[in-house]
């Protein structure tokens, strides 16, 4: 049961108007509180306490209410009956919403030429979890990986290959783009050559296409390998810039029909400025002066394509917040040309930084690759396991390491930068992924040991404070997950899960379950609560794309 919604609905019904229901930070006040008396006082011409005293008797009639009190400046605090909590708490199930939305989610954005690096971590991890959340609350999603496989980097790579030959493996391939970029910085003719090659590739040059088709698979298979380690759901479409470029002519026609394409210094641009803009708003470049398609053209064509094939209600992009201006321009252009009526959303991430507050680099000063980061975490787990003289297999070590990296990523507010401190996330003490998994493993261990006891809902069970708090948290899952979806904020899920684990460990310590001196009735009640807790935790862990190890 969604306790919050139930209580809120019942109160609104009995009072005849909608009140704002809150859960007090301090549990001593009660399970729920409303500020209705304070909000309504002025309009009613009464003081908050007077008004509160009129409301209280009505609320006392509700059969699930233990007591109602007025406190502070006029808060009305409610306490829910224990029996009601025990009888209505259950582990979360998929939610069937009345308004199922078709959502196109865009994240990942591999770049051909560059191995996946730390900058890909957040979009993929957060995007994946958001996808799982969206499905959990009843929406349809389609996952797009808008691969960067058609822009200037292709020209730079081809130019290099023309001179030095085809790379033999992924490692060799990875060196090409940085080398060619460095050369372009010093040598303008090299850059111009690459730009020219890019334009010709895009218009079908056979020689370049042949080279292109050879290195693309090398790069893609390497990136797919890395992503598989992240345990994320597969993309539905990896149609990248090249794939959507097929739709650029149709998109261009729409833009021409609406007469918004303009010539400017040899380029084709769309003016997206607004009269009340007080910020610089450069035009969106559709085609460059060499005739190459810009990334904006690919983005426009992608929206055109998705609108046609998916009829999405909303397209959500998960990228670095440095692209905010680009998406603002893009969304304006879409609106002007009326390419789709779908809502367009950009979720912009902060940067992952080192301790110095600058973008995270390895000790050598290079951008850390995603696989390096996972390797580092796995090594740290291995050391930790060795210290504690345990023996865990490779799979478990990977599961624990991944939980450390992903949970740390998910728990941060997406908008803000966060510091990637290898030591902190691999110490595994406190608020970490391993803590979450450990809690689940212990609960599972208790459940496994209780084979002879049937786990059913007890007729009656006197709740301890720990049990009560835990059950209320479980009953808050649905409310939380709906909020996480609405706010595009998977960090709400991560924070909730951590709180759940704290309460679960609290319960575990203070409420012995299988010990011999515990009577069978209490044992049954606590097993019931343990099972529900485990199921809730397992759901949360699954939504974060993590796995519960068989032991730890």
Closest CB 420 distance from RNA, rounded Å: 8
Q: Read off the tokens for 491.
A: 């960090």
| Shortest Å, Cβ 118 to RNA | 14
Nearest approach, Cβ of residue 306 and RNA (Å): 17
Q: 59 and 11 in contact (C-beta within 8 Å)? A: yes
Return phi, psi of residue 270, to 5°: -120, 125
Q: Does 195 bind RNA (CB under 7 A)?
A: yes
d(CA 447, CA 324): 48
Taking CB under 7 A as the criterion, the residue among 27, 72, 97, 465 binding RNA is: 72
In the complex, minimum distance from the CB of residue 168 to RNA, in angstroms, rounded to a whole number:
26
- Is the Cβ–Cβ distance between 112 and 147 less than 8 Å? yes
User: Quick one: which segment of 129-137, 163-171, 365-373, 384-392 binds RNA (CB under 7 A)?
Assistant: 384-392
> Is residue 151 a contact point for RNA (CB under 7 A)?
yes
Please write down the HEC assignment for all residues of 327-390. Answer: HHHHHHHHHHHCCCCCEEEEEEECCEECCCCCECECCCCCECEHHHHHHHHHHHHHHHHHHCCC
Q: Which is nearer to RNA, 83 or 417 (CB)?
A: 417
| Interface pick for RNA out of 449, 459, 462, 465 (rule CB under 7 A) | 449
Question: Residues near 219 by Cβ (< 8 Å), separated by ≥ 6?
Answer: 110, 112, 113, 170, 173
Strands (E), 171-299: 261-264, 267-270, 284-287
Minimum CB distance to RNA smaller for 254 or for 267: 267
Stretch that binds RNA, among 95-103, 117-125, 244-252, 286-294 (CB under 7 A): 286-294
Instruction: Assess 412 for contact with RNA (CB under 7 A).
Output: yes
Closest to RNA by CB, 12 or 290: 290
Does 166 contact RNA by CB under 7 A?
no
| Window of 24-32, 82-90, 165-173, 309-317 that interacts with RNA by CB under 7 A | 24-32
- The reply to whether 407 sits near RNA by the rule CB under 7 A is no
| DSSP E strand boundaries for 87-202 | 102-106, 140-144
Interaction of residue 515 with RNA, rule CB under 7 A: yes
Tell me: does residue 399 bind RNA (CB under 7 A). no
- Closest to 269 (Cα-Cα) out of 258, 282, 251, 254: 282
Please report, as residue ranges, which positions from 236 to 255 form the binding site for RNA (by CB under 7 A): 241
Site string for RNA, 291-320 (x = CB under 7 A): -x-xx-------------------------
Interface residue with RNA among 13, 17, 28, 338 (CB under 7 A) is 28
**126 contacts RNA (rule: CB under 7 A):** no
Residues pairing with 343 in the sheet: 314
Nearer to RNA, 538 or 552 (CB): 552
Pick the stretch among 36-44, 116-124, 213-221, 331-339 that binds RNA (CB under 7 A).
Answer: 36-44
CB nearer RNA, residue 53 or residue 506: 506
156 membership: H or E segment, kind and range: helix 152-164
* Residue 264 near RNA by CB under 7 A: yes
Which of 305, 319, 147 is CA-nearest to residue 240? 147
Phi, psi angle pair for 345, to nearest 5°: -130, 135
Q: Which of residues 349-378 bind RNA (CB under 7 A)?
A: 350-351, 357-359
Hey, which residues between 487 and 506 contact RNA (CB under 7 A)?
487, 489, 491-492, 495, 498, 501-502, 505-506
Considering only residues 209 through 238, tell me which ones interact with RNA, judged by CB under 7 A. none
| Residue 119 is a binding residue for RNA (CB under 7 A) | no
Helix (H) or strand (E) holding 101: none
Distance CA 473, CA 386 (A): 35
Closer residue to RNA, CB minimum distance, 22 or 314: 22
Q: What is the C-alpha separation between 123 and 233, in angstroms, rounded?
A: 13
Beta bridge partners of 261: 270
Interface of this chain with RNA, residues 317 to 346, rule: CB under 7 A: 321-326
Answer whether 95's CB lies under 8 Å from 76's CB: no
Contacts of residue 189, defined as CB under 8 A and 6 or more positions apart, other chains included, come to none
For residue 29, the minimal CB distance to RNA (Å) is 4
């Amino acid at each position: 049961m969604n306790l919050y919604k139930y209580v809120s609905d019942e109160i609104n019904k009995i009072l005849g108007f909608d009140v704002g229901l809150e859960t007090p930070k301090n549990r001593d006040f009660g399970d729920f509180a409303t500020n209705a008396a304070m909000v309504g006082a002025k309009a009613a011409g009464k003081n908050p306490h007077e008004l509160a005293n009129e409301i209280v008797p009505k609320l006392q009639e509700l059969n699930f209410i233990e007591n109602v009190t007025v406190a502070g400046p006029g808060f009305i605090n409610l306490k829910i009956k224990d029996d009601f909590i025990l009888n209505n708490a259950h582990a979360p199930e998929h939610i069937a919403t009345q308004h199922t939305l078709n959502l196109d989610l865009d994240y990942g954005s591999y770049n051909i030429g560059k191995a996946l690096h730390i900058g890909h971590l957040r979009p993929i991890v957060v995007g994946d979890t958001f996808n799982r959340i969206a499905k959990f609350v009843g929406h349809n999603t389609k996952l797009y990986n808008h691969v960067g496989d058609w822009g200037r980097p292709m020209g730079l790579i081809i130019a290099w290959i023309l001179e030095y030959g085809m790379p033999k493996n992924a490692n060799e391939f990875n060196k090409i783009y940085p080398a060619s970029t460095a050369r372009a910085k010093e040598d303008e003719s090299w850059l111009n050559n690459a730009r020219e090659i890019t334009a010709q590739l895009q218009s079908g040059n056979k020689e370049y296409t042949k080279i292109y088709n050879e290195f693309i698979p090398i790069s893609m298979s390497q990136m797919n390998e890395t992503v598989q380690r992240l345990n994320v759901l597969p993309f539905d479409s990896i149609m990248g810039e090249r794939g959507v470029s097929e739709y650029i002519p149709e998109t261009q026609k729409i833009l021409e029909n609406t007469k918004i394409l303009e010539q400017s210094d040899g380029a084709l641009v769309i003016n997206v400025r607004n009269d009340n803009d007080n910020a610089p708003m450069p035009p969106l470049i559709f085609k460059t002066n060499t005739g190459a398609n810009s990334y904006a053209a690919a983005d426009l064509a992608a929206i055109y394509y998705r609108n046609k094939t998916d009829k999405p209600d909303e397209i959500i992009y998960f990228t670095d917040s440095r692209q905010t201006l680009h998406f603002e321009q893009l969304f304006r252009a879409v609106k002007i040309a009326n390419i789709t009526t779908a809502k367009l959303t950009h979720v912009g991430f902060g940067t992952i930084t080192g301790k110095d507050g600058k973008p995270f680099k390895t000790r050598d000063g290079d951008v850390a690759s995603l696989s390096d980061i996972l390797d580092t975490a796995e090594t740290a787990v291995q050391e930790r396991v060795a210290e504690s003289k345990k023996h865990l297999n490779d799979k478990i070590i990977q599961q624990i390491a991944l939980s450390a990296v992903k949970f740390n990523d998910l728990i941060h507010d997406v908008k803000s930068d966060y510091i990637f401190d290898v030591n902190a996330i691999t110490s595994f003490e406190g608020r970490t992924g391993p803590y979450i998994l450990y809690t689940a493993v212990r609960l599972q261990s208790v459940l496994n040991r209780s084979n002879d006891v049937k786990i059913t809902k007890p007729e009656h069970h006197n709740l301890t404070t720990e049990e009560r708090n835990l059950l209320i948290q479980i009953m808050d899952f649905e409310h939380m997950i709906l909020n996480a979806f609405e706010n595009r904020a998977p960090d709400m899920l991560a924070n909730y899960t951590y709180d759940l684990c704290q309460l679960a460990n609290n319960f575990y310590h203070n409420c012995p379950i299988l010990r011999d001196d515990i009577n069978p009735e209490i044992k049954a009640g606590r097993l019931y609560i343990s099972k529900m807790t485990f199921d809730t935790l397992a759901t949360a862990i699954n939504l974060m794309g993590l796995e519960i190890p068989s032991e730890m």
